[in-house]
Amino acid sequence: MKTILISVFALLLISCHDKKENQDNTSKINSDSTAIKNDTIKSEPVVDTIKHIEVGYWDQYEKMPKLNFDSISETEFESITPKKFLQAVKPEQKGNYFYLSGANKKHAFKKYNDYGGEESHSGYELLGRYTDSKLYAMIQNSTAENLGFGEFFLFDPVSEYHYNIVSFGDASVETPIPSVNNKYLVYYNNGVYENHNCDIGILKINDLSDPKHYLTEVASSRKEDFTTEKIVWKTDDCFYVKGYTKSIELKTGEKKYAYFKLDIN
């Protein structure tokens, strides 16, 4: 009887030891899986776009004044020396991402590249940082049905707001240019498919402490069969445009430049 009890006790000890080993192995597997999952999450950061504001919709500009193109001479255009408004930045980079620090966290942006497959040519391009407002200028690129699309936006690292400037076409607008004393932003978009019109938008720069109303539409203009090549501000309320008639350039390969003045007030 004593021998039987000892045998039963020994079996119980072995069973408990095996169970503990299984529990330890299971815990280790779960821990390893969690670590792998966390590493995967860290290696594939997602851009935070919670605070997202869009400005520049066509229906808003339809309610605003339309600016007139008044001819000026090349000499008058060339007399203006444009100010430098973007400064180069070298962000932290790792793998396919670059990072910009905000007030509360670090934001990850996937670099522009050809990733193949459905992603194809996609990602973000960092153009620089505005010297006055300290906002980052960026373009988000994407591809769908073999067509490229782009969206220009400003990123404020303090409020962590993204200001998307809606394009007049499929490609992103050209980098908005601030006026002499940072009163307005002017930008343009040249048609690239069936029509070759140029659209110009003007945004009023307001108080950055009120993010939702920081940029507002004030005026726009369109010139048909025209490609804008350069814009310079003369004053806070007047800018010059250099461009050419697109149909002539398509027929002859020659760009016959014309110069114009547009007054906001």
Residues 39 and 104 in one domain: no
Residues 129 and 183 in one domain: yes
152 touches 176 (CB < 8 A) = yes
Token output for 55: 């400005």
What is the domain range of residue 68? 45-263
Mean pLDDT of all residues in the chain? 82
218 touches 64 (CB < 8 A) = yes
Strands 52-55 and 161-165: parallel
Residues 188 and 90 in one domain: yes
Spans in the chain with pLDDT lower than 70: 1-50, 115-120, 144-148, 194
Residues 122 and 154 in one domain: yes
- Count up the domains in the chain and report the number: 2
Token output for 235: 């004053």
Give the pLDDT confidence of 89-145 residue by residue, as tens digits: 999 999 999 999 888 889 999 898 776 666 667 789 999 999 999 999 999 987 766
Residues 135 and 184 in one domain: yes
